[in-house]
Structure 1
Amino acid sequence: MSPRASSASVRPVREAASGAATAWRGLRTWSTSPGLMAWGLLPGAITAALFGGAAIVIATQLAGWSRSLASLVVDDGSWAHGAVQVIAALAVVAGSVLVAVYAFTAVTLTIGQPFFERIGRAVDARQGFVGAEPDEHWARSLLRGVGEAVRLALLTLPLAAGLFLIGLVPVVGGIAAFVLGASIGGWFLALELTAYPLARRGHVSLVARRAVLRRNRAKVVGFGAAVFVLFLIPLGAALFMPAAVAGAALLVNDPGFATRAHQEGVTPDPTAQPPDAER
């Protein structure tokens, strides 16, 4: 293998690691702005209360669901029934986690939009970016954001079904479903978390944001997967949400991220109105 080919194969791994490190840098924002970050805990707490009921239902019904699924494959009294039930339970979890984590993130960002936008502006300012607010009425922005979140949420459903089927594969299925779930879920999380910092740079619509992120795919997936794993910790989605928002702003501010997007011909969203300078 030539040195150039070797470098090309290593580069995505290096960029994914850099993206994951950016998520850690977002956590460190707590040490510099604890008061600002603390406000971001409130929306997560509200969403956690809303989603708590669904989590309880899944937790209490998981044994029954997995037992029923196992009974479709093998006889109840057979020696393999217990093993198949465990595999089915893991598959159910793998399929539902993607939808749950994305839905939690989308709802929390919608509820806490003013708090998270404040965090994003503060991180931008510390990085030396004096941006401009999108010239879009708050009601229109909210409706557009909700519409985009619903579109992405519907897209996660067939993907979750695919992860469920992968999770049914003995031995390797659970591991493969987790890795794929973190990667796919990380991409969806990054689309949501970078919405505001990219909008301040002229990339308002989902199509425009996706074009920017796609040209930085390895770094974006690395960042999103790290956030996804943190969100799997009990109460992690509520506790780490402010840090994830700060990390998303840091990701967009990364010089390599911005330069590469520019070189690849990414232009501001043509449907967006020219923003007014931030006062």
Structure 2
Amino acid sequence: MTRVTGVIGRFFTGVGMLLRGFGFWAKRPAIMLLGLIPAAIVFVVIVGALVALGFSMPTLTDWLTPFADDWADPWPDVLRAAVGAILFAAAIVLAAVTFTALTLAVGDPFYERIWHAVELEVGGAVPEHDLGFWRSVRDSLKLIGLGFLAAIGVALSGLVPVVGAVLAPTLGVILSGRLLAMELSSRAFEARGIDGATRRAILRGHRAQVLGFGVATQLCFMIPLGAVFAMPAAVAGATLLARSALDAAAPAGTPQPTPAPRP
């Protein structure tokens, strides 16, 4: 019981990281407003794609289930509604991950300023390692690929009898949330020259916090226009999450960094 309570507590610590990220709207409103620009642009594109998918869903589900044409009513409609819900749940997973990947790639200069401000707020020397545009593009393509695999997993989970209708959206939030958390927190590690394998090893000891942050972020993204307004806060909160993990991984006896002055 104590262990379960501890995991739940760490999960909500991760949720709190996102809430602290929203707190940067009060601390640094100017740079947070800049973070809305790329998020709004990508949001319009992603929503347009989802709307187009929604309008084409009846045709798509009919094409996928020709065997149901001869079934007695109302079973063809029930099946096609279930297939449509599964496909749309998978599409939302892919949309959330694609939104994050494209927004980070397009808005890298804006989000770098948010990351830099949070690093200064936490304290210590801020690394100046430049990730480069093509590195951001490569990371974005990788995230979209992982999102596609997660979407397939969500679609397949929806086929599980009885529980599929609940399992698919739940799994979608968990998988996409974890992917979002891992990607959003990556800058703090990469700026310090920490490779992906080491980053995953460090975050492995903070799974509950990562999941809590990611699930909270994904749920915000599912609110109408929530993705636009939550994206700057998610970048700030993910930096706090990464710094917390890095500080915990520091060798015992390492001097704590002294706060750096605000720019």
Structure 2-normalised TM-score?
0.86
Q: What's the CA shift for 1:171? A: 4.6
Aligned pairs for 1:109-148 (under 5 A) are 109-134=104-129, 136=130, 141-148=132-139
Distance 1:119 1:158, change over 3 A: closer
Partner of 2:257: none
1:78-134: CA deviation from partner (whole Å, max 9, x where unpaired): 222222222111100121112111111011011111111111111121122332111
SS at match of 2:70: coil
Partner of 1:39: 34
Aligned pairs for 1:1-279 (under 5 A) are 6-73=1-68, 75=70, 77-134=72-129, 136=130, 141-203=132-194, 205-254=195-244, 257-262=245-250
Question: Aligned partners of 1:20, 1:73: CA distance in 2, in Å?
Answer: 44
Question: Aligned partners of 1:9, 1:238: CA distance in 2, in Å?
Answer: 34
Question: Aligned partners of 1:55, 1:233: CA distance in 2, in Å?
Answer: 14
Question: Aligned partners of 2:168, 2:124: CA distance in 1, in Å?
Answer: 39
Distance 1:74 1:214, change over 3 A: farther
Question: Aligned partners of 1:170, 1:31: CA distance in 2, in Å?
Answer: 47
For residue 261 of structure 1, what is the amino acid of its counterpart?
Answer: A
Question: Aligned partners of 1:240, 1:129: CA distance in 2, in Å?
Answer: 26
1:19-76: CA deviation from partner (whole Å, max 9, x where unpaired): 0121122122212222221000001122123334312211211232234445434635
1:229-276: CA deviation from partner (whole Å, max 9, x where unpaired): 11111222222110111111121233xx33443469xxxxxxxxxxxx
The size of the alignment, in residue pairs, is 253
Q: What's the CA shift for 1:207? A: 2.8
* Contact 2:14–2:241 (CA under 8 A) maintained in structure 1: yes
5+ residue gaps, structure 2: 253-262
Partner of 1:267: none
Of 65-74 and 21-30, deviating more is 65-74
For residue 225 of structure 1, what is the amino acid of its counterpart?
Answer: V
SS at match of 1:130: coil
SS at match of 1:169: coil
Question: Aligned partners of 1:7, 1:200: CA distance in 2, in Å?
Answer: 37
For residue 191 of structure 2, what is the amino acid of its counterpart?
Answer: R
Partner of 1:273: none
Question: Aligned partners of 2:246, 2:170: CA distance in 1, in Å?
Answer: 28
Of 245-254 and 68-77, deviating more is 68-77
5+ residue gaps, structure 1: 1-5, 265-278
Cα RMSD after superposing both structures: 2.3
For residue 177 of structure 1, what is the amino acid of its counterpart?
Answer: A
Distance 1:160 1:72, change over 3 A: farther
1:196-229: CA deviation from partner (whole Å, max 9, x where unpaired): 22233442x3333322222211111110111011
For residue 20 of structure 2, what is the amino acid of its counterpart?
Answer: R
Partner of 2:258: none
SS at match of 2:23: helix
Q: What's the CA shift for 1:77? A: 4.4
For residue 246 of structure 2, what is the amino acid of its counterpart?
Answer: A
Percent identity (aligned): 34
Of 191-200 and 86-95, deviating more is 191-200
* Contact 1:216–1:261 (CA under 8 A) maintained in structure 2: no
